[in-house]
A and B are shown apart, each in its own frame.
Chain A
Amino acid sequence: MHRPYSNKAWLGVLPVVLVVAFSAVIPLMTVVNYSVQDILDFNSRFYVGFEWYVETLNDSRFIDAFKRQLGFSFTVLAIEIPLGIAVAKGLPKTSRFTPALLILLAVPLLIPWNVVGTIWQMYARSDIGLLGVAINAMGISYHYSSEPLHAWLTLIAMDVWHWTSLVALLAFAGLSSIPQPYYQAAALDGANRWQVFRYVELPRLRGVLIIAVLLRLMDSFMIYTEPFVLTGGGPGDSTTFLSQHLATMAVGQFDLGPAAAFSVIYFLFILLFCWLFYTSVMRRDNE
């Protein structure tokens, strides 16, 4: 589509730029400012340059939290994206059950995040929770509050429960937009189900899947409330992700300088991942 070139268009984006500048740029600059200072209290502060950055990058707790974060984010993406597509393919396109199913899918997205944590905390308890009791009754010992592996599995199960719907709703919307002649053409060519999926559906789903992957990547990287409620980062540090570590530093210990340096590095990493994904997708677009 041909779009004319006009710098008057800036008038249209000006409100957005102003709102975002206020709610993002000012706070971000404050963080950057803190990150190069040693702040004892708000009246005595010293410029320390990049000291906090060096310290953070060499901090084994940061590196561990970062590795856990990567493990968590890529695991949930690897489950939620294919599962979401499969669920969307299973949804009937036009049936009287469709609206009800869509609403059911949307429900986990609409529950406040601390409630999500609470539900799973109670649901998975090995003494009084439906899931915990059921698993133990099958003869498998399961205690998420004392076993790191179980805590991990519970967190992943919770995130899949919480967010797969988002992928499914997006994928369903993408599937509904495929015109019927595409399927008829594929049927004439004798394509099997896998080929229909691979060559007809998947290319048309590309746009919504990009949104789904980016949103899940960003949000899983920021996850805080749910693990905070469910496991509190434990047992030990085994489920302490980046946001949690950061909140402990900034609020719990009032280490503003290091916390700010941590924030900047954290933000840059998310930026890097999303940029890599975004440009690799866009490059393929242009080819």
Chain B
Amino acid sequence: MSKPQAFSRWVLVLYCIYLLLPLYWLLTMALRNNSDIVGTFQVFPAAPTLANFAKIFNDPVWYQAFGNSMTYVTINTLVSLLVAVPAAYVFSRYRFLGDRQLFFWLLTNRMAPPAVFLLPFFQLYSSIGLFDTPLAIALAHCLFTVPLSVWILEGFFSGVPIELDEMAQIDGHKFPYFFMRIFLPINRGALGVTLFFCFMFSWVELLLARTLSGSEAKPIVVVMTRTVSASGLDWGVLAAAGVLTVIPGVVVVWFVRKHLVKGFAMGRVS
């Protein structure tokens, strides 16, 4: 263990304060009613109330929106992992015609600005009848989660010595057994990290989700923006919803927290 470095510790402490202050402000807004927020400046809420949360918990629109968001995020994460795992495996284990080009081409899709795709996506999913379904949003988000998943997983998989595959073969294990029972469990960390990134980028995205949803599949991020405009900018409810949307993410991080660090550490990502 290197000596604790005073400078870096100070940076960490100051940065945490910098992180916490806006979060604190979000929390205080969630605990105040709207006229109070707009009318006066208070460092500590003078009359904290849970009314904003009550409003959300009593309105089925929020449940549905939450459900919709969870649905497309889950579909997206599953699809991304399902297609990215085999691809990352072959990228890490074989050379084949056009492998480098294909890898960079995949990455380029991660670079495509969502704003570019708004209209074509709308037309594409409308024409195949998927508009306003969670599936459409999940597939659209694959645009950036799939390339990222392949990229991250390939880094991890390349760090696992190829001798492992050969030894399993010598031991007489069939490939599916090796892959499912040996290879993937070893790479739990990698899968955890990838899951975190898919979840994160799909959960927080607004632009595509808004474009591809009508009234049925409306995700929670969109409901937030509409509630704001409908009831004349209710900052309190918006802040309360903001606090609630952080919770699923924190749950995911909590479950993958060990993998998150160990996972990255194992990766020879380059």
Contacts and interface: CB of A to CB of B under 8 A. Distances in A.
B43 A130 contact: yes
B120 A26 contact: yes
B168 to A, nearest CB: 16
B269 A208 contact: yes
A208 B112 contact: no
Main secondary structure of the interface of B (DSSP, over half): helix
A103 B95 contact: no
Interface string B182-202: 000000000000000000100
Given A13-B87, A113-B205, A250-B119, A3 B93 contact: yes
Interface of A: 1-13, 15-20, 22-24, 26-28, 30-31, 34, 83, 86-87, 89-93, 99, 101-115, 118-120, 122-123, 127-131, 133, 161, 164-165, 169-170, 172-174, 176-177, 180, 183, 193, 196, 206-208, 210-211, 214, 218, 221-222, 224-225, 242-243, 246-247, 250-251, 256, 259, 263, 266-267, 270-271, 274-275, 278, 285
A177 to B, nearest CB: 4
A111 B242 contact: yes
The 9 A-B residue pairs with the shortest CB-CB distance in the complex, in nearest-first order: A173-B264, A110-B249, A90-B12, A12-B90, A27-B120, A90-B8, A177-B265, A9-B94, A30-B120
Contact of A207 (B93, B115, B155): B155
B270 A207 contact: yes
Given A107-B246, A176-B261, 6 more contacts: A3-B162, A12-B94, A13-B86, A16-B86, A86-B7, A90-B13
A16 B83 contact: yes
B124 A27 contact: yes
Interface string B10-34: 1111011011111111100100000
B38 interface: yes
B123 A30 contact: yes
Contacts, number: 317
B147 A27 contact: no
B111 A6 contact: no
B241 to A, nearest CB: 8
B206 A133 contact: no
Name A's interface SS: helix
A176 B264 contact: yes
B114 interface: yes
Contacts of B167: none
30 contacts: A3-B162, A4-B94, A4-B95, A5-B96, A8-B96, A9-B93, A11-B90, A16-B106, A24-B112, A28-B112, A28-B120, A90-B8, A90-B9, A90-B11, A102-B261, A109-B204, A110-B203, A111-B246, A115-B245, A128-B39, A128-B41, A133-B41, A161-B18, A173-B267, A243-B114, A247-B118, A250-B118, A251-B118, A263-B113, A263-B116
Interface in B69-103: 79, 82-84, 86-87, 89-97, 99, 102
